[in-house]
A and B are shown apart, each in its own frame.
Chain A
């Protein structure tokens, strides 16, 4: 029996992993609804309340004053991806607890590929969620230029990869599903609130320069800005570089952590 992995075999493996992620997503309709309801609640209720109290000056990429709903939409797109990335992380921990993870890891393909395929499959699912959200937001008068819907696709892909890779990295360090509450408190909430998703950074600077600097250093801020600029047909180089750099860093960390020779969790008894 030949053991050479041909390009067709790599493609088959990727499609198989992507198909499984899609099937799981389709089977868990509640997950899709939850992913959609969360940003819609922010858009319909939170944004409506804040519109009156939060004045927004003209900041790039906007060329005029915009409603708060318009401002907050890219942040909510990134929020969908952030939660999706953490959901993938949760599913990795669940798979590890139930044993399904081992099926993946005993495949003859290298682990970086298996993890990467799982990551890309998760991002595709998150992009479907974001476009569904943008379609609903359109009826709420959040109407970016038509080209923006196309230009945002690579931005969503990159930001989704970065946030998914973060989830993957976190999943390697979390031993039990019960520990996941810590991820909510120490990762999701600080990342989301200490970013430009809900308020512009200049606003933050007025309150606290230190907080402004923290927000400016937050990779999630750059994911939001990458999406925001792309949605208006523009390219933000700094955000692109930060998001790309963080993607490489997080993914490399995840691959190392899942490597049986180097990973920390594999050395613990019962770690799989």
Chain B
């Protein structure tokens, strides 16, 4: 079994003349919570788009649970659960219908999908919203439903692209706590954010700035006493 849930080696990406990512390398260990920290425009979403194969990875190597994304895209994508920055659930359908649809996209039969829906909704504390239309959910509930959707095919790693954007403080705290709880159950998480107080010293941390990795390792070791000051110093954003 490979050591890392996700391994990215020397990945670059450009949009014409704009270099979005420059020689990015990072790893996400199994069962860990790793924060991908960067200001808006740092390249987090581009990196996620490469990992999820929405964009073609033209340089370097991406491996998901030991599966090369280029050579074994099906095997790699089967192990990924993704919570996108913007809403990805169909607002016209119920939570159950969305979950069953997503399960089908992973080849999970309907009967099994129903059983798994109950299981993942219990995990995200949304059991009572099974037959509620997504359009009727609150922001926090909607986010938790997105996480349930990402979990239904039992992925080895969860990618969460700024999942707390637009949420109130209470919902934000709940979503972060929920994701940490999931990692204790064995799922790895790569959590993209620009909010420093979502990161704890024991987390893994990757600081991405202008498409480059400035630091990669343990958050406590990188940030020391003051992660904010370290981040501003590294990114050159300090006054």
Contact residues of A with B, CB < 8 Å? 1, 3, 5-6, 8-10, 12-13, 15-17, 19-20, 23-24, 27-28, 98-100, 102-110, 114, 259-262, 266-269, 272
Contact = CB atoms under 8 A, between A and B. Distances in A.
Nearest to B149: A103
Interface on chain A toward B: helix, strand, loop, or mixed SS? helix
Contact of A12 (B20, B53, B88, B108): B108
Interface residues of B, number: 46
A102 B84 contact: yes
A12 B109 contact: yes
Contacts of A9: 106-108
B107 A103 contact: no
Contacts of B156: 1
Contacts of B78: 1, 3, 108
Interface string B90-117: 1111000100111111111110000000
Given A260-B53, A266-B54, A272-B54, A108 B88 contact: no
Contact of A16 (B49, B87, B104): B104
A162 B20 CA distance: 38
A268 B72 contact: no
B75 interface: yes
B148 to A, nearest CB: 13
B88 A5 contact: no
A105 B54 contact: yes
A103 B88 contact: yes
Interface in B13-29: 15, 18, 20
Given A103-B102, A107-B77, A267-B55, 19 more contacts: A3-B67, A12-B110, A13-B104, A13-B107, A16-B101, A17-B105, A20-B101, A27-B92, A99-B86, A100-B90, A102-B82, A103-B89, A104-B105, A106-B82, A108-B74, A109-B107, A259-B56, A260-B55, A262-B56
Contacts of B74: 3, 5, 108-110
Contacts of B102: 103
25 contacts: A1-B154, A3-B72, A3-B75, A3-B79, A9-B107, A13-B105, A17-B101, A19-B100, A19-B101, A19-B104, A23-B97, A24-B90, A24-B93, A98-B87, A98-B91, A102-B82, A103-B88, A103-B89, A103-B102, A103-B149, A106-B82, A108-B78, A110-B74, A261-B58, A267-B15
Contacts of A24: 90, 92-93
Contact of B93 (A27, A99, A108): A27
B151 interface: no
A108 B101 contact: no
A8 B90 contact: no
B93 A23 contact: yes
A266 B107 contact: no
Interface string B151-170: 00010100000000000000
A103 B98 CA distance: 10
Nearest to A97: B86
Contacts of A267: 15, 55-56
A269 B90 contact: no
A6 B79 CA distance: 17
B108 A260 contact: no
A24 B133 CA distance: 12
B80 A106 contact: yes
Contacts of B105: 13, 16-17, 103-104, 107, 109, 114
Contacts of B53: 105-106, 260
A20 B20 contact: no
A16 B114 CA distance: 13
Nearest to A103: B88
